[in-house]
């Protein structure tokens, strides 16, 4: 009799504990929903406030709008498309210098030029090029004057003081390394673009023009080769590894000769131009950047691979025909923390997944220890029995 009463009491206690666990989970879910609603409410209030701050009456709006800009804006036509390792925004490097080994391919459309390969003649003579492209995967329809870059760890600053893709005109700019030019395609390294990104323009990188430390003083400016006939031997523009040799007794160039001839538009590179390279700095040229660029409030993370992930990478490397090693790319991406501030603050303890080079990577961050551990690397192209990708199928998730 006593035994039956005890078992009944234990059963009631177990049932009450289950109900208590369910109640706690429901309370936790309600708190999360309230937090999400509060976040959405704050975003809506900020959007309304921005609309009110920027609102102008019709008279003021017409007086401040330039008359030489068409009402429908400026229309730009893509000249090509970029193919990269990154099919999604998640996990894509934010700058080309983060994952320098990632390879990309830029292909020109034959609808822009009848012979697009002709437009690429001469580009192989440059080691780097600028790519201007459209941030076509931006989901936000409202652009804010202040943004929160991940490098600032939640602090807000003006959008034009950042490289944020969420801009009034969503145009991206990347400096990449030219590997080779084949037909109507350019192969390059240093990718920070999503696969399928439309390209607006490409320009060769010229340090004498693009690097402010190469800005020449007035008495060292050269317009063409004939003006340098009496000068000491200098480095050719194509040899960036040699230092220029300039005599201290070099006579000053008359000011009247500076600017006497300028190349027509589109023919700036028709004549060889000699300008000082590395080693000659203008004292008036000073490059200034904010401290949060050189000393960000975030630590560079230490990346480790579990034994399971290492074994999976070894099998993947055996199957790879072209000998690519994705481990280095995964490590360089994760050590810069590809998460947004929102994901880092709200879902920091959950698994983070992303796609790279037809691979699905699962990892987990430890913000207190400034580390990230890769637990699983699977091929994103393999299908399971049910027809879904293997990494998305729960039946294979723990295999």
Determine the Cα–Cα distance for residues 327 and 377; give it in Å rounded to an integer: 10
pTM score, whole prediction: 0.59
Residue 186's pLDDT is: 96
Determine the Cα–Cα distance for residues 239 and 228; give it in Å rounded to an integer: 17
192 in Cβ contact with 96 (< 8 Å): yes
Strand, helix or coil for residue 4: helix
Please spell the DSSP secondary structure of 236-289, one letter per residue: -TT-TTSPP---TTPPPPPGGGTTS--PPTT-TTSS------TT---TT-----
pLDDT digits (tens, 9 = 90+) for 334-355: 988 898 888 888 887 788 999 8
Our measurement of the distance from residue 157's CA atom to the centroid of its chain's CA atoms, rounded to an integer in Å, reads 18
Q: Which one-letter DSSP state was computed for residue 387?
A: S
Residue 250's pLDDT is: 39
Residue 60's pLDDT is: 61
Instruction: Give CA torsion, residues 334, 337, 339, 345, to 10 deg.
Output: 130
Which residue is associated with the tokens 């320009």? 203
Tokens of 143: 């652009």
Residue 319's pLDDT is: 60
Determine the Cα–Cα distance for residues 360 and 364; give it in Å rounded to an integer: 14
Spans of the chain, pLDDT less than 50: 217-282, 398-399
372 in Cβ contact with 366 (< 8 Å): yes
Q: Which one-letter DSSP state was computed for residue 209?
A: H
């Amino acid at each position: 009799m006593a035994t039956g009463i005890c078992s009944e009491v234990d059963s009631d206690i177990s049932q009450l504990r289950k109900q208590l666990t369910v109640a706690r989970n429901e309370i936790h879910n309600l708190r999360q929903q309230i937090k999400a609603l509060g976040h959405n409410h704050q975003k809506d209030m900020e959007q309304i406030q921005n609309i009110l701050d920027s609102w102008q009456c019709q008279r003021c709006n017409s007086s401040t709008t330039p008359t030489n800009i068409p009402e429908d804006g400026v229309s730009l036509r893509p000249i090509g498309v970029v193919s990269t390792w990154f099919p999604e925004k998640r996990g894509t490097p934010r700058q080309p210098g983060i994952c320098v080994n990632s390879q990309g391919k830029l292909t020109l459309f034959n609808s822009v030029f009848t012979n697009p390969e002709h437009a690429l003649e001469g580009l192989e003579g440059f080691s780097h090029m600028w790519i201007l492209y459209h941030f076509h995967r931006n989901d936000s329809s409202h652009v804010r004057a202040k943004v929160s870059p991940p490098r600032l760890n939640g602090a807000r600053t003006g959008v034009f003081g950042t490289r944020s893709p969420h801009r009034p005109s969503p145009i991206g700019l990347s400096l990449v390394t030219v590997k080779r030019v084949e037909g109507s395609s350019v192969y390059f390294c240093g990718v920070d673009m999503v696969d399928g990104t439309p390209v607006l323009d490409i320009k060769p990188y010229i340090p004498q023009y693009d690097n402010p430390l190469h800005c020449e003083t007035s008495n060292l400016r050269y317009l063409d080769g004939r003006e340098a006939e009496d000068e000491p031997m200098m480095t050719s523009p194509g040899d960036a590894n040699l230092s220029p040799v300039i005599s201290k007794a070099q006579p000053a160039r008359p000011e009247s000769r500076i600017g006497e001839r300028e190349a027509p538009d589109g023919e700036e590179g028709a004549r060889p131009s000699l300008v000082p390279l590395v080693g000659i700095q203008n004292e008036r040229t000073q490059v200034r950047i904010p401290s949060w660029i050189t000393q960000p409030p975030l630590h560079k993370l230490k990346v480790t691979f579990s034994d399971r992930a290492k074994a999976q990478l070894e099998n993947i490397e055996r199957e790879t025909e072209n000998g690519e090693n994705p481990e280095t790319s995964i490590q360089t991406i994760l050590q810069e923390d590809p998460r947004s501030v929102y994901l880092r603050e709200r879902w920091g303890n959950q698994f983070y997944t992303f796609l790279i080079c037809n691979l699905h990577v699962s990892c987990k961050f430890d913000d207190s220890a400034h580390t990230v551990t890769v637990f699983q690397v699977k091929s994103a192209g393999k299908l399971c029995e049910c027809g879904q990708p293997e990494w998305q199928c729960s039946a294979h998730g723990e295999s």
